Amino acid sequence: MSAAVIDGKAFAANVRGQIAEHVQRLKDENGITPGLAVILVGEDPASEVYVAAKHKQTVEVGMASFEHKLPADVPEAELFALIDQLNADPTVHGILCQFPVPDHLNERDVVARIDPAKDVDGLSVVNAGLLASGEQGLVSCTPLGCLMLLRDQLGNMSGKEAVVIGRSNLFGKPMGQLLLKENCTVTIAHSRTADLPEVSRRADILVAAVGRAEMVKGDWIKPGATVIDVGITRIPHPDKPGKTKLLGDVDYAEATQVAAAVTPVPGGVGPMTIACLLANTLTACCRAHGLTEPAGLTA
């Protein structure tokens, strides 16, 4: 048995294509252009690369991209004044501040300052609470991307047993909530879970998000399960001195011999994160104007 590879790169490109069509329709029929504002504080190289990718993909789908670069020593009051300005700007439908931020700023306070209706990263306590309550909010991008991949792979997930390894507020908890919403029976496992391999083996859907390279071995996986690998660990490349290699939380070679389908690293979940950021911006725009939300791009 060899698992089907879940191609997140191709799926994300398809999602961006759908978004571009919706954006064009909004312009043609309503004269509205969805707008995404990204705030970058300081000069973290990885963040700069990520922000550039967001800008490029935002423009490619026809949205307005607003970039705000602030110095690393920007006072909190100045950052908050910018967020307040963006909250009040009707041309801006989504706001995100790229993390990490310098130590003198508190990430939780920054997220709390963003209008929950424009919190397209889905990180606010308000949006987390709406998701947990089964109400309409904006969902964190990476869990939303995983949900889209699972829907595409499995269709109806009702009654399936799902195990999420990792309980972070950023991913594990919202992923569990999304799977509950799909009528899965959900276990959120973590570092203190007794006999984690045995718990994992129960899963029809196994989602790993702990950041420990190749922790999940083939014998942790139920034959025929669908495996979503969210972990990313950089290691020195064994064959290319000075280069790095990306590994996921799942031992990919072993998993492909047991699972029905598995996401690779890279090229699996990663590309879906920015695609879902754009999807959330489109959704926020439609909600702000009382228009029908795009089908298939929300939780």
Annotated catalytic residue within 18, 118, 119, 121: 121
User: Which residue in the list 18, 54, 204, 229 is annotated as catalytic?
Assistant: 54
Catalytic residue check, 121: yes
Q: Is 119 a catalytic residue?
A: no
Q: Which of 5, 254, 8, 299 minimizes the C-alpha distance to 136?
A: 299
CA distances, 168 to each of 32, 54, 134, 146, 191 (Å): 36, 24, 19, 15, 11
Strand partners, 94: 36
Question: What 3-state DSSP class applies to 265?
Answer: coil
Is 245 designated active site? Answer: no
How many angstroms separate the CA atoms of 233 and 211, rounded?
6
> 18, 57, 98, 177: which is the annotated catalytic residue?
98
φ and ψ at residue 206, rounded to 5 degrees: -115, 120
Integer CA distances (angstroms), 288 to 84, 174, 223, 292, 295, in order: 17, 23, 45, 10, 17
> Catalytic site residues?
54, 98, 121
